[in-house]
Amino acid sequence: MVLQFIKLEILKSIRSTSFARSLLVGVFLVFLGLLLMAYLLLLGLYLKPIVAEGLGQEDAVYFINSSLIFFFLLEIIYRYFIQKLPVLDLESFLHLPISKSRIIHFLLIRSFISPLTLIPFLLFGPFAFTEIAEIYGKTAAVAWILAVLFTSWSMHYGMLWFKQRFEDSLLGVFIIFLFFLLGAGSTYFGLYDLGSIFEPVFSFALENAMPPIFLLAVLICTYFLCFAYYRQNAYLEDLAEEENIRFVNKSFGFFSRFGLAGEFANLEWKLIIRHKKSRTFLMLCGFFLLYGLIFYANPGFQKAYGFSYLFIFVGSFITGIFMFQYGQLFLSWNSDSFDFFLSKKDGLESLVKGKYLLFMAISCVCFLLSVPYAYFGWEFLLIHLSTFLFNMGVTMHLVVYMALWKPKPMNLNKGGMFNYEGLGLAQFLMVIPMMTAPYAVFLPFAYFINDYAGLLALGITGLIGIFAFRLLSRYAIRTVRLKRFEISSAFRKES
């Protein structure tokens, strides 16, 4: 039966109309994955010198045991955003005369075969069989690495259950971030040391076989928890009903004040919350709002007078992250329905204006959510205000102009992580104006006058761009009109 499943997967791949393109992308991703795993293995080999010499810790084993919980917190984050659910595969198998239990067992075991499964072994395996084996013996090294692996693998199936239970919902994202902040944030602010609480579990594994046995039992429990949930909900009508009910009638009412462009902005918003890839981008937007915590509270980036120029990039990133992520695929989001807008009077113009309207609305929300950074100093609020205005007046148009260069179609139901559909050379080059444009205005004034004069120049330039919105947006509208048939043909051929 397993061989039959494997055969069906191979046939599905080679019969796809995009097999050649998928093969090339697959080869590139395999090469990239091997390169990243090689870096992880290299980091694992030098983990002891990094801890002892770089961090100045005399007892490397104790330090690693105390820090493992933070690795697992990070693992929860990247598994939530990267780990794929086998739901779509489940839908393709349910019509076959095969037991549901066998299908689900196959999908859950197949999901385990992933580079994510190897990360803890590559990172901590060399440390276990060199440092721990030398001090505590080989048996202790095996027990310790098994405890680490079983914990990581339990998170694999636990996250499959969690993502299916709260798939792409704001509640799920809130729970993940709350869990991470309560864990890492409490230690950072000195409320309690989470590492010291979990350190005895892995230290005990050096002396006794009970921790790996217990964690193996946890792994088995998480597997059958995930299996039971999938088995209970393995019905096509349940999956379709859940998707339809969860996101029905979600819209921004004030968009209706802007005529047809506002209606298209509402449609664009519904597209975002109804499709997996766009929802992923929206959730990542919320995640990157915390980006400033890495820099603003770090003493290494503080100056006696003024502020670090790196904060200009951080402010631009925080207040414009949605525009950068979603805007780089400006028309690709509508590749399946582009002909609809093409057939409507003023459809293309309203589509472009509606996207602009949506970018502005969500960027305003991002700016308002970034206001609490004023806790670290009022200069950060000024940085965010000036970079927000510059993003709205200048950077937004640069992103849109570059996104209109040979847009490509994509499947909205695929996840956003490691999914390169719709991306071309222009999308990768988009980082250049995002990084250089604010500095081109800020640096001359900051150098010849002071840092706050540079912020004032950024804000004024942004305001000029906002007042000249009709003039600047006219180029994007004209480009879409001139290339409408070329774009439509490309979407139909490649989709």
- Specify the pLDDT at position 415: 55
- Specify the pLDDT at position 460: 94
Report DSSP letters for 147-176, one per residue. Answer: HHHHHHHHHHHHHHHHHHHTTT-HHHHHHH
pLDDT along the chain (495 residues), means of 10: 61 57 65 83 87 82 86 82 68 69 82 86 90 88 92 89 70 69 65 74 86 92 88 60 45 67 78 74 76 77 76 88 80 76 78 85 88 85 92 87 77 58 61 82 89 91 90 85 79 62
**CA distances for 466 relative to 49, 266, 352, 470, 471, angstroms:** 53, 22, 16, 9, 10
For the full predicted model, state whether its pTM sits above 0.75. no
Rounded to 5 degrees, φ, ψ at 339 are: -65, -30
Half-sphere exposure of residue 154, counting CA atoms within 13 Å on the CB side?
18
- Specify the pLDDT at position 81: 72
- Specify the pLDDT at position 218: 92
Are the C-beta atoms of 302 and 451 separated by less than 8 Å? no
